């Protein structure tokens, strides 16, 4: 036999030498939930091991761990008090809003960490939708919502966010935000657009975590149809034309073909977001002893990177970084 593929699998040193996919903690983004209040670390029941933090020392402890693990970036989601929510998501662009407080605190204490802020309305509206709702028809109104997304993004960058991540899946949101930021001379603020966001049941635990489930209907009129992949390329290209610097695709695990296709078609960095439902599935199976958590999260991270993701957004960022830093991934 002239060709023996098994020679390249002979031992761990040879496997390491010939690995096609290599991972590094700098490619990781850790999503963090910040809720109003003081001195709070509250476990999210559908996501054991993930917490809601108040914007004070409690958040700083979590950030310190992230920085020590050499993770480059965090993604902030805000959870305002229930009674502050309204039709127009006012707590989202309040300069003393929960995310704005968290950004200022994080930037002051960890200037080297990239702070990414999610730009959306659903956590801040009383109806739980990502845009304004037409009272008569119940339709999510696109164009009138853009102005609100602009305000949210500006307030986050004013507070010190390096990167804004619009996730409302409204048409024209990237262009609107880019223009608004440029008008305020925020030329260097990056836009990390959730260009390809499917209408997915994998977001279930997130909606429990952030209290952002829609009070009526679903998100299928703005988030993408899971049956489509060419449309994902269109969404990505459109956002890049509108000024997106990097794009996000989500969920990750069930959409590896989409990651691969989009990565081949665009020249900007592509991030895959392994969403809450992916985390909770693994956690639940691991807690029952049905899966080996460490091995499963490693394999999933490798698969996502192999499909073409340059950046991984994951609730397992700390665990993955640990494995990478100790030479185990």
Task: List active site positions.
Answer: 197, 250
Would you call the peptide bond into 251 cis, given omega within 30 degrees of 0 as the criterion? yes
Q: Does 167 bind ligand PBG (CB under 6 A)?
A: yes
In the bound state with ligand PBG, the residue whose beta carbon lies nearer, of 186 and 192, is: 192
Which range in 4-12, 115-123, 231-239, 316-324 contacts ligand PBG by CB under 6 A?
115-123
Which parts of 19-58 interact with ligand PBG (CB under 6 A)? none
Which range in 63-71, 86-94, 98-106, 200-208 contacts ligand PBG by CB under 6 A?
200-208
In the bound state with ligand PBG, the residue whose beta carbon lies nearer, of 169 and 181, is: 169
3-state secondary structure of 220: coil
Q: Does 275 bind ligand PBG (CB under 6 A)?
A: yes
Q: Does 297 bind ligand PBG (CB under 6 A)?
A: no
Among residues 118, 162, 235, 319, the one that binds ligand PBG under rule CB under 6 A: 118
Residues 6 or more apart in contact with residue 52 via CB below 8 angstroms: 33, 34, 35, 40, 41, 42, 44, 79, 209
- 305: Cα within 13 Å, side-chain hemisphere: 20
Interaction mask 72-111, ligand PBG, x per CB under 6 A: ----------------------------------------
Which range in 117-125, 173-181, 184-192, 285-293 contacts ligand PBG by CB under 6 A?
117-125
3-state secondary structure of 219: coil
Shortest distance, CB of residue 126 to ligand PBG, whole angstroms?
Answer: 15
Among residues 206, 222, 255, 316, the one that binds ligand PBG under rule CB under 6 A: 206
Residue with CB nearest ligand PBG? 206
Shortest distance, CB of residue 210 to ligand PBG, whole angstroms?
Answer: 7
- 87: Cα within 13 Å, side-chain hemisphere: 8
Which parts of 127-156 interact with ligand PBG (CB under 6 A)? 130
User: Rounded to the nearest 5°, which phi and psi values hold at 300?
Assistant: -65, -40
Shortest distance, CB of residue 37 to ligand PBG, whole angstroms?
Answer: 21
Interaction mask 219-248, ligand PBG, x per CB under 6 A: x-----------------------------
User: Any bridge partners for residue 171, and if so which?
Assistant: none
Question: Beta-carbon neighbour count of residue 47 at 10 Å?
Answer: 20
Question: Beta-carbon neighbour count of residue 238 at 10 Å?
Answer: 16
CA distances to 5, 10, 107, 207, 314 from 123, in Å: 51, 51, 23, 9, 19
Which range in 66-74, 94-102, 114-122, 260-268 contacts ligand PBG by CB under 6 A?
114-122
Question: Beta-carbon neighbour count of residue 143 at 10 Å?
Answer: 12
Shortest distance, CB of residue 118 to ligand PBG, whole angstroms?
Answer: 5
CA distances to 19, 50, 250 from 197, in Å: 30, 22, 5
The single-letter DSSP state of residue 225 is P
CA angle in degrees (0–180, nearest 5) for 134-182-313:
70
* Chain contacts with ligand PBG (rule: CB under 6 A): 118, 120, 122, 130, 167, 203, 206-207, 212, 219, 275-276
């Amino acid at each position: 036999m002239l060709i023996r593929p098994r020679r390249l699998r002979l031992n761990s040193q040879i496997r390491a030498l010939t690995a096609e996919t290599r991972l590094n903690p700098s490619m990781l983004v850790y999503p963090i939930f910040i809720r109003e209040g003081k001195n709070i670390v509250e476990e999210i029941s559908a996501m054991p091991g993930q917490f809601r933090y108040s914007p004070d020392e409690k958040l700083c402890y979590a950030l310190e761990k992230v920085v020590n693990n050499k993770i480059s970036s965090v993604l902030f989601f805000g959870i305002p008090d229930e009674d502050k929510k309204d039709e127009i998501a006012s707590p989202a662009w309040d300069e003393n809003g929960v995310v704005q407080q968290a950004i200022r605190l994080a930037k002051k204490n960890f200037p080297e960490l990239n702070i990414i802020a999610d730009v959306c309305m659903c956590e801040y509206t009383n109806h739980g939708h990502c845009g304004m709702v037409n009272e008569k028809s119940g339709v999510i109104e696109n164009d009138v919502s853009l102005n609100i997304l602009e305000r949210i993004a500006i307030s986050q960058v004013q507070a010190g966010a390096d990167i804004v991540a619009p996730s409302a899946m409204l048409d024209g949101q990237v262009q609107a935000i880019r223009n608004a930021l440029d008008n305020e001379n925020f030329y260097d603020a990056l836009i990390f657009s959730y260009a390809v966001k499917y209408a997915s049941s994998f977001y279930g635990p997130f909606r429990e975590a952030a209290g952002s489930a829609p009070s009526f209907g679903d998100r299928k009129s703005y988030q993408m149809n899971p049956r489509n992949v060419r449309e994902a390329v269109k969404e990505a290209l459109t956002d890049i034309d509108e000024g997106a610097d990097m794009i996000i695709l989500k969920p990750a695990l069930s959409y590896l073909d989409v990651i691969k296709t989009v990565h081949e078609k665009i020249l900007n960095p592509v991030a895959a977001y392994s969403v809450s439902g992916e985390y909770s599935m693994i956690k639940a199976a691991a807690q029952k002893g049905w899966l080996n958590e460490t091995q499963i999260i490693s394999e999933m991270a490798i698969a996502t990177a192999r499909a073409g993701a340059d950046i991984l957004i994951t609730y397992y960022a700390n665990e993955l970084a640990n494995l990478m830093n100790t030479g185990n991934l």
